[in-house]
Structure 1
Amino acid sequence: MSGAEWKAMRQIVTPTFSSAKMKAMFPLIAECAQTLKNSLLKESLAEVNVPDFMTRFTTDVIGSCAFGVDPGSLKDPESPFLKMSQKMFKIDRSTVLKRYCRTFFPKLFKFLNLRTYSKDVETFFTTIIKKVLDERRATGVQRHDFLQLMLNVQKTETSFVMTDTLIISNSFIFMLAGLESSSTTLSFCLYELAKDKHIQDDLRTEIVDCLERYGGINYEAVCSMRLVNQAVLETLRLHPPTPLTTRLCTSACTLNGTDLSVRVRDPVLIPLYCIQRDAQHFPNPDKFNLERFKETNPPGFLAFGEGPRSCPGARFAQLTVAAALAALLSSFEIEPCSMTTSTIVYDPRSVMLKNKGGIWLKFVPL
C-alpha cells in the first residue's frame, strides 16, 4: 500500500493505538498474561521451552485483540488457531524467495500470482473474522478490541471507506507484525534476565511495588514500570526480532558522504541489527545495559522503524511484553537450566532472529 491510500489508512489506524484505546484493551492482554502464569505453574516443568510458551501467549493476545476470539493456545497446544498461526510463520526457502520477489520484483510477483501464505491459512483466519463481524452486527455486542475499533470506523468514517476486506487485511497485518516479534522479544528478554540475576531482582522489586500500588496487573501499573520498559527496549536493541527492514525510495537522492544514488521506487534494505550493534551509537554494544534507555530512545534505535512509516502498534507490543514480564517475574525466579546455551548464536536459516540452540530456562515459583 502506498501513496494516498496508505496515508488515509494510517490516519485511520493510528488513533486505534491511542492511550485511551490501549487502556480499554489492556484487560484482554492482562487476562492472557494471567493464563500464561497459571499455565507455567500447572506444568511444573524443570526445563521450559521459552519460545514455545511465549508464542502461545502472544497467539492468545493477538487472537483476543485482533480477531475477537479466544484461541486457547496456552490451555491447548493443539489449538487450531495456534496450529494455523504457526503454519503462517513457517519459513522455508520457497517462502523466503517469494518474499524477496515481492519486495524487489513486485510486478513479477503479481504476474506470477504468487502467494507468501497458503490458501488454507488465509481461508481459516478470514472465516473467523467474517463470523465475528456477522455476530457483532446481528447482536450489537461490542468488545474493547482492535476488530471492534475497525468496525466502529466502518460505521462512522465518511472520508474513507473501511470495507470488510480492509478490516480482514488489518487483522492479518496485526498478527504478522505482533505475534512472532513479541514472542521473540519476550524469549530473549527472559534469557538476558536469567543470565543477570541483579537486573532480574531490580525488575522484580519494581514490578511488585507497582502491582501493590495499583492493585494488580492493570494499565496504570504496567505503564509505571520504568525499568521493565527499559528492559524491553534494550532487548529490542540487542536482539531485534527482524534484523533488517525495507523501505521504498520516494525521492531521488545521493547518500551523504558517498557517490551512491538512490532512484525513485528503489527498494532499500536497512540493517537494523548492524546499526543497533554499532559502537558509535551504543558503547560496548554487546552488553545488556538498561541504562541506555533511562532518559529516551537514543539515536540509532530503529526496532520500531522511524518516520511516517514507523510501527503504529509499538505501544501495544511494549504493553504486551511488559504485562507478561510482570506476571512472570512476580511469580517466578527465572534461572538457567541444563539446556540453556551459554551464549546466543543466531540460527542462519531463520528470517527472524532465533537462538540456534533454542531458549530453555527454569521457572522457579516464588
Structure 2
Amino acid sequence: MIIFPILLAIVLALVGYVVYSVRHSLSYWQDRGIPCEEPDPHSGNTVGLFKTRTFADIWMHTYKKFKGSGPFCGFYWGRNANAFVLTPELAKLVLIKDFNKFADRGIYSNPKHDPLSGHLFMMDGHKWRSMRSKLSPTFTSGKMKIMYPVIVRVGEELTNVFAKMQQEDPVIEVKDVMARFTTDVIGTCAFGIDCNSLKNPNSEFREMGRKAVNDALINPLSGFLMDSFPNLARFLGVKLTPDDITEFYMRIVRENIEYREKNNIRRNDFFDMLLDLKNNKLLKSEDGQNMSITVEELAAQVYVFLRAGFETSSTTLSFALYELAQHQDIQERARREVLEVLERHNGEFTYDCMSEMVYLNQVISETLRMYTVLPVLNRKCLVDYPVPGHPKYVIKKNINVLIPVAAMHRDPDLYPNPDVFNPDNFAPEKEAARDCIEFLAFGEGPRNCIGMRFGKMQVRIGLALLLKNFRFSVCDKTPIPIIYDLRTFTVNSYSGIQLRVDKV
C-alpha cells in the first residue's frame, strides 16, 4: 500500500518539474528585460505555423514589430529561447566579424544511425571545418567551368520539352518543369546518372527527390527530443531521414562508385571530385589532417547537394518566370541582352556568356531578394556575447541566433518599394554601394552557401535558354497574388505557376 503514495509523489514531482521548466524557459527574455512577444505555452512565438502562417510570415511579423527596439529581440521557437536579429550591424558581427563565436548552426544530426544527415550543412565544430576545407576545392570557378557543358546539355533538353509542351497547350505549369530540370542537372552532376525526369516526370529519381523534400516529416516526439535532448536522441537512434530514402540514395551511390571504379570512368562532375577525396588516402590539408572521406560521408554530401540545390534553384527559376510574365518590359530587356551576348559569341552559349549577361543576373538577384528561398539563417552562440555598444543585450552561450533574411530583403530602409519587382536594385553601381550584409540569399561569411557558384550557374543557363526561345505571359490560371505553401520551411508556391508560353 505504501508504494502507491510514493509513485504518486514521484509523478507529481515530475509534473511539477516539467511545469516549472516550461514556465521558466518561456520567461527567459522577459526576466532579462529584452523585448519579445508573449509566448504561447505550446508553440512559443510560432503560433499558426504550417496551418495559417508560413515561416516567412512569422519572421516578417516579428521583424516589423520589434525593429528599432534594439539590436535583437527575444523569440521563442517552441520553448527554446532564440535571439532574433534586428539590425544589419549585428548580422554582420554574427556572420563575419565575430564568426568564430557563432560558427555552429546547432542543428541536430545523427550520422551514426542516419548517414545522410552527416552533411556539411548540419556539421559543427572541427567536423564542419574539416569537411568545408575538403569540399571547397570542388566548387571553384575552374571546376564549375568543367561541369558547365553538362548543364547546358540539360538546358537544351529543357527547351525541347518546353517546345513540345507548348505545341500541345500554350499554358504550361512551369514550377514542375523547373523542378524536373534542376533534378536532371543535379542527378547528372552529383549522382552521375541520367535521370531523364524532363522526359519522364514519374522517373524513380524524380519521385525520390520529391519524397526527400516533402515526405521527410518528423513526428512530434522525435522533434521534441532532437530540439531539447539531442544527445539522448542520438543515443536512441532518432533519425531525420526515412529509411526508404536512405536505402535508395545509399544504393545509388554505392552502385555508382562500383561502376566508375571498375570501368575506370571519369565524367568530371561533382561525384568524380568526391570520389577523388575518398580514394586519395595520402591527401593532407595544410594543418596535416587527412583529407579523404568515407562512402557514407560521400553519400551525405551528394544528398545535401540534391536537397539544397534542386529545390532552391527550381523555385528561383519559377518565381523569375512568374515576375517576368507580369513585367513584359523587363522580360524584353533581359531577352535582348541574352540574344546580343549570344550573337557576340557566334550563337554559342559559352561559359563566358554568363558574366556578360549583366541584366539577366540582376533579374535573378531581384528574384532571390523578393522570394528568398531560405527565409532565415540560424547560428549558435558559442560564448557569452555582449553586443558591442549595447551592454544590456547579451547573447548567452548555447542560445540560437536567428537572422530573418527574407524580412530584411523586404525592408524599405534597405530596398525602396520592396514589394515591387525591380532588377535595377542590383545595377552594378547600386551593388557597389550596398553593404554585402544587406543581401543574404546565399548567406555571408565563412559559412556561406558553398554551392553558390553552381546554383547561380544552373539558374542562369536555364533562364537564358528559355528567354532565348520563348516569351512568357500571364493567363487566367496564373495565381496573382501568389499563394504560398504553408507546409514547408522554405518559400514556395502552394500550387503550380501557370503561364502562357509562346515561341519567340
Q: Same fold (TM over 0.5)?
A: yes
Map of 2:461 onto structure 1: 323
1:108, CA displacement in angstroms? 4.5
> What is residue 279 of structure 1 aligned with on the other side?
412
Aligned to 1:132: 256
Partner Cα separation in structure 1 for residue 216 and residue 422 of structure 2 = 34
Amino acid at match of 1:291: D
**Aligned match for 1:186, one of 300, 303, 317:** 317
Paired position in structure 1 for 2:39:
none
Structure with bigger gyration radius: 2
Q: CA deviation at 1:106?
A: 2.9
Rounded to whole Å, the distance in 2 between the matches of 1:104 and 1:143 is 44
- Taking the aligned partners of 1:97 and 1:199, their CA distance within structure 2 comes to 49
1:41 aligns with 2:163: yes
1:1-366 aligned at under 5 Å gives the runs: 1-44=123-166, 45-91=169-215, 94=218, 102=226, 105-156=229-280, 157-158=283-284, 159-214=290-345, 215-255=347-387, 257=390, 259-295=392-428, 296=431, 298-299=434-435, 300-366=438-504
Please say if residues 238 and 286 of structure 1, whose CA atoms lie closer than 8 Å, have aligned partners that are also in contact. Answer: yes
Q: Which has the higher mean CA deviation after the structures are superposed, 289-298 or 13-22?
A: 289-298
SS in 2 for 1:134: helix
In the TM superposition, residue 239 of structure 1 has moved relative to its aligned partner by 0.4
Residues 267, 196 of structure 1: alpha-carbon distance in 2 compared, 3 angstrom cutoff? same
For 1:278, the aligned partner's letter is: D
What is the CA–CA distance in structure 2 between the aligned matches of 1:247 and 1:46, rounded to whole Å? 45
Contact 2:372 2:405 in 1 (8 A): yes
How far apart are 1:22 and its partner, in Å?
0.3
Distance in 2, Cα, partners of 1:184 & 1:72: 20
> Secondary structure at 1:242's aligned position in 2?
coil
Contact 2:216 2:240 in 1 (8 A): no
Structure 1 residues 100, 356: closer, same or farther in 2, change over 3 A?
farther
Structure 1 position 60, deviation (Å): 0.3
Q: Is the 8 A contact 2:316 2:459 kept in 1?
A: yes
Query: How many positions carry a matched residue from both structures?
Result: 366
Quick one: structure 1 residues 97 and 275, their matched pair in 2 at CA, closer, same or farther if it must change by over 3 Å? farther
What secondary structure does 1:166 align onto?
helix
**Aligned amino acid, residue 364 of structure 2:** V
Does the 8 Å contact 1:236/1:303 carry over to 2? yes
| Percent of aligned pairs with the same amino acid | 36
Instruction: Indicate the SS of the match to 2:296.
Output: helix
The alpha-carbon distance between structure 1 residues 155 and 329, as it changes in their structure 2 partners (threshold 3 A), is: same
Distance 1:224 1:99 in 2: 47
- Which one-letter code corresponds to 2:129 in the other structure? K
Relative distance call for 1:143 and 1:101 in structure 2 (3 A) is farther
Unaligned runs of 5+ in 2: 1-122, 285-289
3-state DSSP of counterpart to 1:312 = coil
Aligned 8 A contact 1:99 1:116 in 2:
no
User: Helix, strand or coil: the match of 1:221?
Assistant: helix
Shift of 1:104: 6.0
Q: Which amino acid aligns with 1:186?
A: L
In structure 1, what is the Cα distance between the partners aligned to 2:224 and 2:391? Answer: 26
Contact 1:103 1:267 in 2 (8 A): no
Deviations 1:99-136 (A, max 9, x none): 68646653344244222221111111111111111111
CA contact (8 A) 1:248 1:268 kept: yes
Secondary structure of residue in 2 paired with 1:284 = coil
Distance in 2, Cα, partners of 1:89 & 1:233: 24
* TM-aligned CA distance change 1:258 to 1:89, over 3 Å: farther
Per-residue CA deviations over 1:30-77 (Å, capped at 9, x if unaligned) read 111111110011112322111111110110011001000011100101
Letter aligned with residue 157 of structure 2: T
| Aligned-residue offset at 1:140 | 1.3
Looking at structure 1, the residues matched to 322 and 381 of structure 2 have their Cα atoms a distance apart, in angstroms, of 37
C-alpha distance after superposition, 1:254-280 (max 9, x if no partner): 345473322223222221111111112
TM-superposition CA deviations, 1:121-165 (whole Å, max 9, x none): 111111111111111111111111101011122334233221211
Amino acid of the structure 2 residue aligned with 1:54: M
**For residue 243 of structure 1, what is the amino acid of its counterpart?**
P
1:229 CA drift (Å): 1.1
Letter matched to residue 354 of structure 1:
N
**Offset, 1:19:** 1.0
Does the Cα contact within 8 Å between 1:46 and 1:363 map onto a contact in 2? yes
Does structure 2 conserve the Cα–Cα contact (< 8 Å) formed by 1:91 and 1:351?
A: no
- Give the gaps of 5 or more residues in structure 1: none
Q: Kindly provide the amino acid, as one letter, of the partner of residue 292 in structure 2.
A: V
Q: State the alpha-carbon separation in 2 of the partners of residues 31 and 151 from structure 1.
A: 23
Shift of 1:360: 1.1
Evaluate the alpha carbon distance shift between residue 102 and residue 282 of structure 1 in structure 2; reply closer, same or farther with a 3 A threshold: farther
